[in-house]
Amino acid sequence: MSTTWNDDDLKEMASQLSSPKGDNGIKTGERMAISNGNMIALTVQQLDIGANEHVLEIGLGNGSHINSIIANSTGVHYFGIDISETMIQEATRINQEFVDKNVVSLEISNGHDIDFQSSSFDKIFTVNTIYFWETPDVYAKEIYRVLKPGGNFSIGFSDKAFMKKLPFTKWKFQLYDKETVSAILIKAGFSITKIIQEKENIKGNMGELIERDIVIIAVKKEL
């Protein structure tokens, strides 16, 4: 039995994907955790996280992947920020043990500023958030500011050519290709170290099986 999606349904989907809210937001977070699992793993892999490093994730969703980051790096301290109060609450619930041990710190963000001192983090990453940055050039400079000299930043996103085929991305989303994102990062001061392009098969937000084109760009803040 097929589902018919009207514009109101698609607008609501776009809104939930940009900032999940309430019970529907919790379900959206669960779906994102599954569909973005491979992209998150590849994006984190580019960081080469070392022992005792401070790692920031921008837009953590429900945070069900945080335990793998903690488990794979000795003494790492994970910080997560998100514009969604629902996602911060869910991530706190899922990672309560780590939060209680002060290994994981989670905070609401306004999406404009990163409320940490300059040079706070050894590594920073984000997956599927750039579509919702209101001022990409300014936000990229904020990421550069809070990253330590010599630190790595890795960003994962779905390619514009793929994303524009999805009916809900006409609302809330700004779409990007690797050239545009690379230019934003270079303008902010970063040096590009690697660009990865892959295809992956996922279950989409509308329940369909799709082949998705993903891009991961790894950059460095030079000493």
Tell me the C-alpha distance between 103 and 76, whole Å.
7
Contact by Cβ (8 Å): 54, 120:
yes
Looking at residue 94, what is its pLDDT? 97
The parts of the chain modelled with pLDDT lower than 50 are 1-2
Question: Does the CA dihedral 189-194-198-201 come out positive or negative?
Answer: negative
- Give me the pLDDT at residue 203, please: 77
pLDDT for 3 equals 58
Which ranges constitute the DSSP H helices of 46-170? 66-72, 85-94, 96-100, 136-146, 160-163
Q: What are 155-197's pLDDT values in tens digits?
A: 999 999 999 999 999 998 999 999 999 999 999 999 999 999 9
Task: Report the 10 Å Cβ neighbour count for 90.
Answer: 24
Q: How far is CA 197 from CA 79, 116, 156, 173, 184, in A?
A: 27, 31, 10, 21, 18
Q: Cβ of 39: how many Cβ atoms within 10 Å?
A: 21
**What integer pLDDT is reported at residue 2 of this predicted model?**
42
* Sign of the C-alpha dihedral computed for residues 14, 15, 19 and 21 taken in this order: negative
Give pTM, 2 decimals.
0.94
Other CB atoms within 10 Å distance of the CB of residue 64: 19
Of 187, 205, 59, 194, whose CA–CA distance to 133 is shortest? 59
According to the model, what pLDDT value does residue 6 have?
Answer: 86
Q: How far apart are CA 185 and CA 125, in angstroms?
A: 13
DSSP 2: -
How far apart CA 22 and CA 131 sit, in angstroms, is: 22
CATH number of 7-220: 3.40.50.150
Q: How many CB atoms lie within 10 A of CB 186?
A: 13
